[in-house]
Amino acid sequence: MKFQLIFDIAKALLIARWKQTLVAAVGVTFSITMFVALLGFMNGLNNLLDGLILNRSPHVRFFNEIKPNPDQPIEGFYGEGMNIIRSIKPSGGLLKIHNGGAILENLKNDPRVLGVAPKISLQVFYNVGNIDITGVINGIDVQAERSLFAFEDYVTEGNAEDLENISNSIILGKGAADRMLANIGDVIQATTASGDRFRLRVVGYYQSGLQDLDNVQSYASISTAQKMLGEPSNYMTDIQVKLNDFDQSPAFAREMGPIFGTQAEDIQMANAQFETGSDIRNMISYAVGITLLIVSGFGIYNILNMMIYEKMDTIAILKAIGFSGLDVKGIFMTIAIGIGIFGGGIGLFLGYLLSMGIDQVPFETEALPTVKTFPVSYDPKYYIIGGVFSLLTTFLAGYLPARKASSIDPVEIIRGK
Amino acid sequence: MEKKTVLEAKSIHKYFYNPTKAEVLKGLSFSIKAGEFVSVVGKSGCGKSTLLYILSTMDTDYKGELWIDGEPMRKSSPTYLSRIRNEKIGFVFQFHYLLNEFTALENVMIPGLKLGKYSKQELEHKAMEKLRIFDMADHATKKANQLSGGQKQRVAIARALINDPLIIMGDEPSGNLDKKNSDIVFGIFQELAKEFHQTLLIVTHDPDFAAGTDRTITMEDGKILDE
């Protein structure tokens, strides 16, 4: 088979009927454009929703929980029998993570760990006139929190860094601030569980998009929190860890919890319902993607099929003057794949443009303070799938009729005239 | 010296199955020697075109034996048959059957390019020469659909000649043309037979045309009536 001749003939056939070629290519282009843009859009939204949880949650969290001592004194007297005791009270409400500084160092040196952020969680009352509003102040390491959990994304007003720069400062949850009528620059009063009163300057608002959270949570720097509790600078109640590999978190939690002598909770345990939601959304996007591909596949198949049947005469002539079935198949496969490459390539480009267009559409919602326009994913995966698919369908759409045309006697076509 | 047999057919039977089984060719046998100018005449529907398609290997659904250039065609693969068509048979249809997407020159060259015996430059030269024989050189760069019916038919004959085939077959090549063009085409065939000793097998229903050939095979109802 002479590829050059076959290629030349295919090219001439394509160019001579360029309008028809264009119609066929536009069919492919349209399908691929829609596939790429729609899947990009859907996955952008999915990633946004996933990110809502994933970006803000540590992969593994170490903390102490107040619970009864597993080693009760009675077991010392009677051994490990079936000892029944009622009304056991938790002993020693020590939320502090023992030897926190060393644990931090240890975690930072672990190659699996992306980053570590210590945290103190303390219960307070905000004193507004003669009313007390309950709240939780999180003492955080601002730098670590910013790099690991995109903290500043949720600070809707004010500057996250002021927490460290201004002493005794606080970033109030938007809900709590609205209730207290506290503006930025105002000073509010908070009472700790142990009864100490503190004056804190509001330097910003925090808005996570979860109303319940925003009504309660506020943020201060870890040193401010330590000061409020009257604890030394190695005090911390939580250690949040982000791993390089998200999927390793259960194993990491199981391994490290007993070593550090703390509770260790991994993200998959903490957010089991999130996992389910995420899986379902993924399933939906796959279903939509496959449906799109099948529908566009049939479209492409139809167009090419018609194009080849229109060229039956040409097939008869080529066969009459000595081209074999294989040559004819080669010519029409080249035509089909040429349309696939041309139409698919433009489709990918237009899909990218359409994605960028969707990306510009305003999308503002209370719940998502950081999102201003519709999120779109530009994952190359979808472009690769789209590209391969356009080649594959045009190949099949060309192959089936070409195979049929190549195997019949030319006279069948001529006599049918 | 005995002349070589170019084509030999032995008891060719052909059936059409649609709508009912009908025997169109009822055991035809004849042979054609090199340099002969043979015409096949008969009434419309007597099977002469069907016969020609079988002889040209474009129809493989028949019973009987066929040899072209001493080689049996009956059991050959479609790929081999297409090679035979390319190399040894030049076919001229009633309708021109040119590729409208190509120029006259390219249409003539394509079978040659497929055969691959000559380089592209040589073929271009050869194709121009063939077109010149038929006074078509001036129209070489025109697209096939810009030519008149007679011009198209001349290009189609030039195309049939490009690979110097063993035999040229024509299926009423002048049937679709007016008197003047039909005379031109007939003249061309005469010239090919006389000057180039080209073997020709032409199906026609024009008695004048048949009278000018070396030998006339008359067909009726699927059988050869007389030679």
Residue of B98, B99, B111 lying closest to A322 (CB–CB): B111
SS3 track for chain B: CCCCEEEEEEEEEEEECCCCCEEEEEEEEEEEECCCEEEEEECCCCCHHHHHHHHCCCCCCCEEEEEECCEECCCCCHHHHHHHHHHHEEEECCCCCCCCCCEHHHHHHHHHHHHCCCCHHHHHHHHHHHHHHCCCHHHCCCEHHHCCHHHHHHHHHHHHHCCCCCEEEEECCCCCCCHHHHHHHHHHHHHHHHHHCCEEEEECCCHHHHHCCCEEEEEECCEEEEC
Q: What's the gap in Å between the CA of B2 and the closest CA on chain A? A: 30
**Residue A80, exposed/middle/buried by CB under 10 A (0-12, 13-18, 19+)?**
exposed
Residue of A9, A324, A411 lying closest to B58 (CB–CB): A411
**Residue A267, exposed/middle/buried by CB under 10 A (0-12, 13-18, 19+)?**
buried
- The amino acid present at B198, given as its one-letter code, is Q
Query: What pLDDT sits at residue A354?
Result: 93
Angle (CA) A332 A337 A340, round 5°:
135
Query: For residues A233 and B127, which has the higher predicted lDDT (pLDDT)?
Result: B127
Nearest chain B Cα to A410, which residue? B58
Residue A40 has which token pair? 């990009």
DSSP A296: H
CA atoms within 13 A on the CB side of A329: 14
**CATH for B172:** 3.40.50.300
* Minimum mean pLDDT range among A71-85, A386-400, B107-121, B125-139: A71-85
Domain assignment of residue B25, yes or no? no
Mean pLDDT of chain B: 84
Domain assignment of residue B147, yes or no? yes
Chain pair A-B, CB pairs under 8 angstroms? 76
Strands in A224-266 per DSSP E: 238-243, 263-266
Strands in A36-112 per DSSP E: 60-63
| Residues of chain A above pLDDT 90, percent | 4
| Residues of chain B above pLDDT 70, percent | 98
Q: Which residues contact A219 (CB under 8 A, 6 or more apart)?
A: A137, A138, A140, A151, A163, A170, A171, A206
Nearest chain A Cα to B145, which residue? A16
How do the residues of chain A divide into helix, strand and coil, expressed in percent and rounded to 5? 55, 20, 25
| Residues of chain A above pLDDT 70, percent | 96
Q: Which of B82, B115, B161 to mutate to test the interface with A (most CBs of A within 10 A)?
A: B82
Average of pLDDT values for A172-196?
85
Residue of A2, A314, A325 lying closest to B78 (CB–CB): A325
Query: What pLDDT sits at residue B1?
Result: 45
Report yes or no: A252 and A259 within 8 Å, Cβ to Cβ.
no
Residue A317: closest CA among A413, A416, A417: A413
List chain A residues with CB under 8 Å of B113. Answer: 2, 5
CB spacing of B159 vs A410 below 8 angstroms: no
Residue A95: closest CA among A136, A57, A130, A142: A136
- Say yes or no to pLDDT of A108 above 70: yes
Structural element, H or E, at residue A45: helix A18-54
Q: pLDDT tens digit string along A325-370?
A: 888 888 888 888 888 898 899 999 999 999 999 888 888 776 666 6
Query: What pLDDT sits at residue B161?
Result: 87
List chain A residues with CB under 8 Å of B115. Answer: 322
Domain assignments of chain A as residue spans, ordered by start: 3-54+275-415, 60-72+93-270
Tokens 């359409």, located at residue: A354
Average of pLDDT values for A105-109?
82
Q: Which of B58, B124, B143, B166 to mutate to test the interface with A (most CBs of A within 10 A)?
A: B58
Q: Which residues of chain B are at the A interface, by a Cβ-Cβ cutoff of 8 Å?
A: 53, 56, 58-61, 78-79, 82-83, 85-87, 91, 93, 97-102, 106, 110-111, 113-116, 159, 163
A377-413 burial code (b ≥16 CB/10 A, e <16): beeeebbebbbebbbbbbeebbbebbeebbebbbbeb
Spatial distance between the Cα atoms of B108 and A406, rounded to a whole number of angstroms: 22
Q: Is A221 helix (H, G, I), strand (E, B) or coil?
A: strand
Query: What pLDDT sits at residue B96?
Result: 64
Q: pLDDT tens digit string along B1-19?
A: 467 888 888 888 888 887 7
Q: pLDDT tens digit string along B63-111?
A: 888 888 888 888 888 888 888 888 888 888 877 688 888 888 888 888 8
Q: Is A269 helix (H, G, I), strand (E, B) or coil?
A: helix
What are the beta bridge partners of residue A201? A169, A187
Residue A320: closest CA among B161, B86, B151: B86
Query: What pLDDT sits at residue B84?
Result: 87
CB spacing of B102 vs A319 below 8 angstroms: no
Mean pLDDT of chain A: 83
- Say yes or no to pLDDT of A106 above 50: yes
Q: Could you give the C-alpha distances from A386 to A120, A295, A344, A367, A391, in angstroms and in order?
A: 48, 13, 8, 33, 9
Query: What pLDDT sits at residue B147?
Result: 86
- Say yes or no to pLDDT of A324 above 60: yes
- Say yes or no to pLDDT of B224 above 70: yes
Q: How many domains does chain B have?
A: 1
The size of chain B, in residues, is 227
Average of pLDDT values for A142-154?
80
Q: Is A137 helix (H, G, I), strand (E, B) or coil?
A: strand
pLDDT band for position A401 (50/70/90)? confident
CB spacing of A326 vs B79 below 8 angstroms: yes
Q: Is the pTM of this model over 0.90?
A: no
Q: Which of A2, A321, A332 to mutate to test the interface with B (most CBs of B within 10 A)?
A: A321
List chain B residues with CB under 8 Å of A2. Answer: 113-114, 116
Q: Which residues of chain A are at the B interface, by a Cβ-Cβ cutoff of 8 Å?
A: 2, 5, 9, 12-13, 15-17, 313-314, 316-327, 407, 409-411, 414-415
Number of CB atoms found within 10 A of residue B204's CB: 24
Query: What pLDDT sits at residue A351?
Result: 92
Report yes or no: A307 and A13 within 8 Å, Cβ to Cβ.
no
Query: What pLDDT sits at residue A347?
Result: 92
- Say yes or no to pLDDT of A22 above 70: yes
Query: What pLDDT sits at residue A102?
Result: 81
Spatial distance between the Cα atoms of A332 and A7, rounded to a whole number of angstroms: 10
Spatial distance between the Cα atoms of A360 and A354, rounded to a whole number of angstroms: 10
- The amino acid present at A351, given as its one-letter code, is G
CA max distance for chain A: 106
Show the domain range for B170: 35-61+76-226
CB spacing of A12 vs B61 below 8 angstroms: no
CB spacing of B78 vs A324 below 8 angstroms: yes
| First vs last C-alpha separation in chain B | 23
- Say yes or no to pLDDT of B191 above 80: yes
Q: What is the ipTM of this complex?
A: 0.86
Residue A51: closest CA among A249, A209, A224: A209
Spatial distance between the Cα atoms of B57 and B161, rounded to a whole number of angstroms: 18
Q: pLDDT tens digit string along A84-94?
A: 777 777 765 56
| Pairing mode of beta strands B167-171, A155-158 | unpaired
Average of pLDDT values for A28-43?
88
